[in-house]
A and B are shown apart, each in its own frame.
Chain A
Amino acid sequence: MIRTESAGCARTGLRGVTLQVRPGELVAVAGPNGAGKSTLLSLLAGERLPDEGAVLLDERRVAALPPEERARRIGVLPQAASLTFAFRVDEVVGLGRLGGADRAAVRRAMEEAGVDHLAARSYPTLSGGEKQRVHLARVLAQLDGATRPFLLLDEPTSSLDPAQQHAVLSLARERARRGWGVVAVLHDLALVGRYADRVLLLRDGRVQACGTPWEVLTPVRLAACYGIEAVVLPHPADGSPLVVAA
């Protein structure tokens, strides 16, 4: 389990966030711009030390774990990774296995992220959406074969078309069903309602609500948090909450 205990970060204004993510669940982090979503993710990734509180992976401080061990348990898909050197796609995905090239893991990851047909392409020539999926494959390769790993996704759908958005989040949810813990920063509340097991709603660095999508995504709370008027309907397909701007 990865959890934060009233964790905060003074510079970015994040305060008193308590969150638990268990293996097997997909937790969405939502909130307006500047709410502290990415800061929370970097705390969970161990790349930033909390100024207050603690961030623990199986009761050990994440930031204090040896980097190699942390990399075996926690994979991070960044918002945008800039890579201008002409690596081939399979080489980029292979960077996920620094400990030793594992071609089978790389091939599996490329197939699952839907980039196997791009394997021999030069990375800088790809479109934004293709690049994002290549990095997803890199993170999948990194966590391939890990025990109870945690996957942290920072706006994984930002440059994807709707079909790809659903493909990526279906993949994340399927990983959660297989025992991974997934934390995804998401802007699209329709995707939050559809895919999240639980939602953490942040505003101005503070937790506004944390619970199931039906508990968190209420018109009153969305109005308070985003200043929008929204209606929440049961999704015709599976009854999950569907947020529609009124």
Chain B
Amino acid sequence: MALLFSRRFGAVGWSSEADGRRLPSPVLVGTVLLALCVASVCAGAMTIGPAEILALLTGAAHPAHEAVILSIRLPRVALGALHGALLACSGAMLQGLFRNPLADPGLLGTSGGAMLAAAGFTVLVAPHLPAAGWWAMPLAAFAGALVVTVCVLRIGGAAGRADPAILLLAGVALNALAFAGTGLLLSIADDAQLRTITFWSLGSLGGSNWSTVLLLLPALLALSIAARRLAPRLDALLLGGREARHLGVRVERVQVELVVATALAVGGSVAVAGQIGFVGLVVPNLMRLVVGPAHRWLLPFSAAAGAGLVVAADALARVVVAPAELPIGVITSLVGVPFFLHQLRRRIG
């Protein structure tokens, strides 16, 4: 995450001034995120005090608690943070690529494609290919996300010339197709496969362990590098494809890099935690209201806010109906949508 924040941005305090915009300070953002993570580690069926986490560092923790924290809670929090950061940052980048604040990995069909490919792999390929490694299914999800995004880009025409409405309609259509395909797979899946597919379509951090966290790290690295590299070009792309070309942007190359990086991030996220809706759509729009539309600030702040949102939502999901668990998407929607609508109203009024 630190890689996402520009090095120029070194102010310490509650807010900082950058290019004439008042931005929340990275110190504040980091503190809030850390507090959310600690709260989330403590929350759950077995109550763990923040002091226990400190005790863990010195090796003085209760062994049972230590096991719960290290092998269950921490990977889950880390996965939630990564998932939220990847989805929110991808959402912001896709919105720039399509010049449309309504673009979202869910709406464009990127997540749907990833889900369909992952489900297809699980039902059709995995039974005949027992030797496939743990990486095979995420790879399929990545390919699915890539194929759908490329299709949307192709059908909608090159960005800039394209009518944003056509792009979104193409995404919605492909999304519907992906869902139909997943439904088809559901009907021929056996019980175990059925559970896996349902898990993806609802979205859950329940399957978290350290290997799923490790799986997302390359995606985060790729997305961070793309975000740092492409932020000014994404700003120029918002003017339109023609104008960006006039400014010296290699539009096609930027599009390819964006599509690959976001497909990697979305595919990876869906493969390990399924679809957690709404994060990629609302977080970047919310952050635009806070830090403005310039991508060098929007992308890192969206990533941080997305991480915080998913971590907090997951903690709530575990606490509210304990010992049962709510689907995390329910919480993200319940918390985020009213806030978003309120911001929209304030913006208009």
Contact = CB atoms under 8 A, between A and B. Distances in A.
Interface of A: 45, 47, 67-72, 74-76, 78, 81-88, 90-92, 95-96, 98-99, 101, 120, 142
A120 B17 CA distance: 14
Contacts of B245: 47, 67
A223 B101 CA distance: 49
B176 to A, nearest CB: 27
A95 B236 CA distance: 6
A91 B292 contact: yes
Given A71-B248, A88-B20, A98-B249, A83 B236 contact: no
Q: Is the interface of B mostly helix, strand, loop or mixed?
A: loop
Contacts of A99: 248
20 contacts: A45-B246, A67-B245, A67-B249, A67-B250, A71-B246, A71-B248, A74-B246, A76-B243, A78-B243, A81-B239, A82-B240, A83-B239, A84-B101, A86-B288, A87-B292, A88-B20, A90-B20, A95-B247, A96-B247, A98-B232
B73 interface: no
Nearest to A92: B239
Contacts of A91: 19, 235, 292, 294
A71 B242 CA distance: 12
A142 B247 contact: yes
B43 interface: no
A92 B248 CA distance: 15
B101 A85 contact: yes
B288 A85 contact: yes
B246 A75 contact: yes
Interface of B: 19-21, 99, 101, 232-233, 235-236, 238-240, 242-243, 245-250, 288, 292-294
A84 B292 CA distance: 12
A81 B21 CA distance: 24
A88 B293 CA distance: 9
Given A76-B246, A78-B243, A78-B246, 19 more contacts: A47-B246, A67-B245, A67-B249, A70-B248, A71-B246, A72-B248, A78-B240, A81-B239, A81-B240, A82-B240, A83-B238, A83-B240, A86-B293, A87-B293, A91-B292, A95-B235, A98-B248, A98-B249, A101-B19
B15 to A, nearest CB: 17
Nearest to A70: B248
A87 B232 contact: no
A112 to B, nearest CB: 19
Given A87-B293, A91-B292, A98 B243 contact: no
B240 A98 contact: no
B246 A88 contact: no
Nearest to A42: B242
Contacts of B233: 98
Contacts of B235: 87, 91, 95
Contacts of B288: 85-86
Contacts of A76: 243, 246
A92 B294 CA distance: 10
A207 B240 CA distance: 30
Contact of A88 (B239, B249, B292): B292
B247 A98 contact: yes
Contacts of B238: 83, 85, 87
A27 to B, nearest CB: 19
A81 B248 CA distance: 16
A69 B233 CA distance: 16
B243 A81 contact: yes
A83 B160 CA distance: 11
A85 B240 contact: no
A229 to B, nearest CB: 37
A71 B239 CA distance: 15
A71 B247 contact: yes
Contacts of A69: 248
B20 A120 contact: yes
A68 B293 contact: no
Contacts of A142: 247
A47 B21 CA distance: 34
Contacts of B20: 88, 90, 120
B247 A78 contact: no
A65 B125 CA distance: 47
A47 B243 CA distance: 10
Contacts of A98: 232-233, 236, 247-249
Nearest to B245: A47
A83 to B, nearest CB: 6
Among B99, B101, B242, B246, the most chain A Cβ lie within 10 Å of the Cβ of B246
Nearest to A78: B243
Contacts of A47: 242, 245-246
B248 A87 contact: no
Contacts of A87: 235, 238, 292-294
Contacts of B248: 67-72, 98-99
Nearest to B250: A67
